[in-house]
Chain A
């Protein structure tokens, strides 16, 4: 059976979490036309209506844009390392969309194949994701082209469906069950829509995108497609699944931290050797790399595409590029 919660009770629940000292993230309206996932300072800040998707993603909860890996102190003929691993407080993402949650499941694989990245894992273990099924979509949404949908469960700990002025609540994982306790039901919402107004049309075939990227690697298409690209990296930073990072020493010659910061395959520096040689030397190759990684490289290794169809890369691109325009061109045979 499924369970229901009213909008007022949902806000009360958020208020309880905040009062208990938990970090709660959800969509907030920064100004007209700009919504972001951000820490909620009150239950009232949680935005429940009138948005399609925030301009950022919830990957920041598990993969912060800046993270210190350890500290260093340089002493006379000696270097001391300092453990900076602090306890990660319990954090809750509420109101994230399925395209955000599904990306976490993809990141889980990257950060745990071969070497395990405990920085990521500690944050992931402390995070519960309560996803809001989408009530609407815009013309940049394409989750159905990458095997997901507005009510997809992947990566979510619980799923909320808006119904009759309230929400149906369903726990998906043990974490969701524990957090929501008796509030959540266990079975799929009987009235769940799978092809309603909330479902974007299928825009391309991801297998065809992969085939084109492999078979037309040297095609002039890539250079032409990238002519307008500014190389700003907005696509990667706002992508819920992009996870490339840089590692740098921040500090002075005496002490500092080694930190990782988000990086972007769209930057020329990303592959530049100290010698000056750059194996990925032009913006066309860098645009191709982003498609190739998502539709060929990651699927070859982990069996699924590294794109959840959220459309953020296109929404945030100053010149209208991103996965969707490219994929509709090359992924429709």
Chain B
């Protein structure tokens, strides 16, 4: 619990302000990979820490006061509430400001925003998660949601690829899944110069050789850089995946997160409200998408 005087100073002072962030403390910074740290946040307002709920695939607008605000996908699962985990790559002005902060510093959070994965549709089916590089950030929320509600899903397959073992995000927790029998966890690296890698070596699509996929009862959640979409989508389409069973998590430059500022428009949809999860069906109907 916060002390009484602390509560009053953090109590929301802004009336009817959809742009107001709620303050959260950085409770942990875990250096997963150089410049790809995992930040764990907890709202200062206790009731928010308890009541904040999100769907896998949703994102927040993260504020670094004095530097600005940016959309960041939520890497933690709603099945593990109380804290928010954000995997943030250090790449621009605001992420650099975040990397200057230390544990116990305060940031702002608005959200959650976006549609998230269509869990009601996915539940009861097989689930294939395919990610490359930073693409694991939004998929990790879905992964742990599925594993924490294991009885609601049939077969679960994870395919994740990184350049080298030391570039793999969430490496410890994912390698710990390899021996589990309730998930087919396939991890690959493009190269293993240090010769320490005990999993697959090769490009991400080569993992299809080690997976049994029934396209008609599988939802595939894909995320990664454009090259991942290109080759994974190609394989999924070769397998005759229904187009609305392929779920892609997209990113766009965003400012408001609530469908006003116009930055994230793709075709006739706003990524912030009607995405960031789009089906492949959307992709072929929305111009400029990938």
Contacts and interface: CB of A to CB of B under 8 A. Distances in A.
Interface size on A, as a range, is: 35 or more
A150 B48 CA distance: 52
Interface string B233-277: 000000000000000000111011011111101111000010000
A17 interface: no
Interface in B209-237: 226
Contacts of B94: 274
Given A244-B261, A247-B255, A118 B288 contact: no
A246 interface: yes
A72 interface: yes
Given A82-B13, A115-B260, A297-B267, A253 B66 contact: yes
Interface of B: 9-10, 12-21, 23, 63, 65-70, 91-95, 104-108, 226, 251-253, 255-256, 258-263, 265-268, 273, 287-288
A114 B65 contact: no
Contacts of A137: none
Nearest to A281: B288
Contact of A279 (B63, B70, B104, B252): B252
A83 B226 CA distance: 42
Nearest to A243: B262
A258 B265 contact: no
A328 B25 CA distance: 55
18 contacts: A69-B19, A69-B20, A74-B66, A81-B12, A83-B15, A85-B15, A115-B259, A217-B288, A244-B263, A245-B260, A246-B261, A260-B256, A265-B262, A274-B94, A279-B252, A279-B266, A297-B268, A301-B268
Given A80-B9, A83-B13, A256-B66, A246 B260 contact: no
B93 A245 contact: no
B262 to A, nearest CB: 3
A270 B266 CA distance: 13
A86 to B, nearest CB: 12
Contacts of B70: 274
A34 B95 CA distance: 44
B229 to A, nearest CB: 12
